[in-house]
Amino acid sequence: MSIRQPARGYRFSIEAFLLADFAAAVCGRTVLDLGTGCGIVLLLLARLCPSMRHGVGVEIQRDLWEIARRNIEENGFEGVLAAVHGDFREPHPELPPGAFDLVVSNPPFRRLGEGRRNPDPQKEIARHEARCKLADVFGAAVRTLSAQGRFSMIGRPERLAEILSCASAALIFPERLRFVHPYADRPANLVLFIGNRRRPPELSVLPPLTVYASSGRYHPEMERIYRGLIPP
């Protein structure tokens, strides 16, 4: 798999691989990626999920949308995946209500005004809530999910209360959580979330995922994730 991304501006990182690996466990026939960027998560899911028949990535930034479209074409997924240029907060013919079994998102981690603003507008939109808030992501997810569909996202642990509050307001019921730690002895810096439209019997908090071993090399589970997503 060959992935184009901007030479400058926003570039994908480990979060895309973590989200794709986590969401693949509940992948369905139809998948929507909210804020697809260069299309990396959608492409990884297409590689991981043989059950996927149709996937759509929506991106508001035209330059990133064009890259996503090229990535889909150059990796031979034209008949399965599509990139849509638009605002997922608004109705779109490619995003019909109730059409998707799985919706995923790697939304901006920082609230607008939180931390230092990035002078690069592409990075600013991707990292700060300049164009959409967390509640908008959940709103788009619940609108496009099928009755038994699931929503999966990655975020910061310090915003977990807000994630759960937005899920509750959107009537998306938390099903699985997994915390990601840079090292085993350090606090979590990422959290993975899966929720669904039907209330699960209980919330499962999965064992933590550690990115690096004490040696500084990738932890064996992280190596497994990369091996499963990136061909040798």
Separation of CA 175 from chain center:
16
Burial zone of 231 (CB within 10 Å; 0-12 exposed, 13-18 middle, 19+ buried) = exposed
Q: Is 158 a domain residue?
A: yes
Q: Is 120 a domain residue?
A: yes
In this predicted structure, what is the pLDDT of residue 11? Answer: 65
Q: 79-103, pLDDT tens digit by residue?
A: 999 999 999 999 899 999 999 999 9
Q: Is 1 a domain residue?
A: no
First to last CA, the chain: 10
Domain region containing 49 = 14-229
Q: Is 45 a domain residue?
A: yes
Query: How many domains would you assign to the chain?
Result: 1
CATH code for the domain in which residue 205 is found: 3.40.50.150
Please list, in sequence order, all residues whose beta carbon lies within 8 angstroms of the beta carbon of residue 7, skipping any fewer than 6 positions away: none
Q: Is 106 a domain residue?
A: yes
Chain mean pLDDT for the chain: 89
Q: 107-131, pLDDT tens digit by residue?
A: 986 655 565 655 555 454 455 455 6
Q: Is 93 a domain residue?
A: yes
Total-model pTM: 0.89
Percent of the chain with pLDDT over 90: 75
Q: Is 25 a domain residue?
A: yes
Q: 23-62, pLDDT tens digit by residue?
A: 999 999 999 999 999 999 999 999 999 999 999 999 998 9
Quick check: 171 pLDDT over 90? Answer: yes
